[in-house]
A = this chain, B = another copy of it.
Amino acid sequence: MTGVREPQQERSRTTRRRLIEAALDSFGERGWHGVTVAGIAERAGVSRGAAQHHFPAREDLVVAAVDLLGQSQIDELRAQAADLPSGASRIERVVEMVLNLYTGPLFRAALQLWSVAATDDALRDVLVPLEARVGREAHRVTVELLGVDESRAGVRELVQATLDLGRGLGLANLLTDDTRRRRQIVREWARTLELRLADSR
């Protein structure tokens, strides 16, 4: 039995993954309004029937996409964590990672969804609880990476501010390449966090 079922399950997972990735590319490039499940199926090289089996509506693809998106950001953070130095230079590396988190194509896709959700209640109802969960996890990983004690006064807010700053820098990088300016902000923000978090580590 297992020999028959496993490849099927794996095929199904691959199909699902390809559809989600095609959806993210499509949302990022053409926005919510330019995208249909049928169009995403074609892009993914998957039959329309199979696509609709996995994702009956665009909203279902959004749930899966935001989940994948959030999870890959968290995974990326964790993967980089292995190479982190200890000591003071650790904070600068973590700040760099977090402030670069929202400058890629995944953030572009998310922004397209957010801007539509701002005027579309159905999409907003789907996105808000998802974003809250992804946000909480990003927060927890950042606390871990910084190695700070969140029960100390002010630590939670400074970690939140770092993630919010990251999203703001993602916005600033949307229409132009903001890498150089961001690099200087990373350095200064790291210095600031070192100062404020010195006795929370």
Contact = CB atoms under 8 A, between A and B. Distances in A.
A63 interface: no
A188 B196 CA distance: 10
Contacts of A164: 165, 168-169, 171-172, 185
A143 interface: no
Nearest to A118: B174
Q: Give the interface size bracket for A toward B.
A: 35 or more
A66 to B, nearest CB: 12
Pick from A164, A166, A176 the residue with the most CB of B within 10 Å. Answer: A164
Interface stretch (A10-18, A29-37, A80-88): A29-37
Nearest to A109: B118
Given A168-B171, A169-B164, A192-B158, A111 B119 contact: no
A163 to B, nearest CB: 8
Interface string A112-137: 10111111000010011001000000
Nearest to A164: B168
Interface string A135-164: 000000000000000000010011011011
B118 A157 contact: no
A90 interface: no
A184 interface: yes
Given A168-B165, A175-B131, A115 B31 contact: yes
Given A28-B118, A31-B116, A114-B171, 5 more contacts: A117-B174, A128-B175, A157-B184, A165-B168, A195-B196
